[in-house]
Amino acid sequence: MIVTCTLNPSLDCYMEFNDEIKEGRVNRSVLEYYEAGGKGINVSVVLNNLGVPTKAYGFLGGFVKDFYLSLLSKYERIEPNFTYIEGNTRINLKLIHEDTDTDLNACGPYITDEAMENLRAKVSRLDEGDYFALCGNTQPNLNESVKEMVQELQDAKVKVILATNYDLLITLLDKKPFLVKITDDELHKYYDDLEDAKDYGRIAKELREKGAENVLVVYDNEKTVLSCEMGEFTCKFAHDDVVNSVGVGDSLVAGFLMNYIRSRDVVDSFRFGSACGSATAYSKTLATREKVDTYYQEVEVRKLND
């Protein structure tokens, strides 16, 4: 079983504009639509599109809850299993004009100790052979509880995937997570002079040597690096013009997991995950199976230093 966990999900309101968005002025959109957002949810949606069922954990609350669940109901392979809270799940605005996306993201509700204990009780039922993917922002007051939860998962021999705050992720490497995913935006806060695949491969290797089994890096929204026991590898997506940057890294994680569960081949899973990232990057929606199969034939994996 694959469980995705989104501690701070969002109701994403997309607004498309014909005219340039101007600060301090009234801007009227020409189209609006809503999606159930959050990095863990994105992973679940892509896996749903690939025919893989998941359970979705996390926190939902307030007047947003019912509408959020109704949006998820269109995905037949996602089983919502949220912990309900009194605070309102955040609403994010995604403003789109031509090739420019502007995000206005809310901070989200406060999560009480009681709510976190409820989530941990659900997580404690996972066992050897299960996969647990913690994706997206972790609220600072939950850091210690998350560390304890990850340790309990490791003790139960659950394979843990981490794609959360970099400062928290670093402290969890000694728990030996199965997979870690980071982006160039996160790395640039801590490292200088990161320019090409070799630079990102070097950092990925350092993180793996600190405890992670496999490390994925996404940079420039269209390039990926893998560090695993067989070395460091890189892959560039299939085309040049990125249409959509939302969910690219989440699609990489979803594709990697699906292929690994099927094949146990880390490098081919990296290639398949990169095809999923391509399928999201070059369309307005998250990856679908048809698009993934097309891009899988085009993406190529190269070993660094060869």
Give the whole-angstrom CA distance, residue 249 versus residue 236: 13
Where along the chain do its domains lie? 178-306
pLDDT at 193 over 90: no
Task: Please tell me the predicted confidence (pLDDT) of residue 306.
Answer: 55
pLDDT at 263 over 80: yes
pLDDT band at 300; cut points 50, 70, 90: confident
Name the CATH code of domain 178-306 (choices 3.30.1490.20, 3.40.1190.20, 3.40.50.720, 3.40.50.300).
3.40.1190.20
Give the whole-angstrom CA distance, residue 82 versus residue 2: 15
Give the whole-angstrom CA distance, residue 141 versus residue 157: 26
Among 1-10, 194-203, 280-289, the range scoring the smallest mean pLDDT is 280-289
For residue 198 the two structure tokens come to 């070799």
- Of 13, 163, 8, 218, nearest to 103 by C-alpha is 13
Q: What is the mean pLDDT of the chain?
A: 92
pLDDT at 90 over 90: yes
pLDDT at 104 over 90: yes
Q: Is residue 250 annotated as a catalytic residue, yes or no?
A: yes
- Of 228, 211, 218, nearest to 268 by C-alpha is 228
Residue 117: is it exposed, middle or buried by C-beta count within 10 angstroms (0-12/13-18/19+)? exposed
Which tens digit of pLDDT belongs to each residue from 207-241?
Answer: 999 999 999 999 887 789 999 999 999 988 766 56
For residue 43 the two structure tokens come to 């992973």
Catalytic residue among 184, 250, 268, 306: 250
* pTM for this entry: 0.93
Q: Across-strand partners of 5?
A: 57, 134
Residue 36 belongs to what H/E stretch? strand 31-37
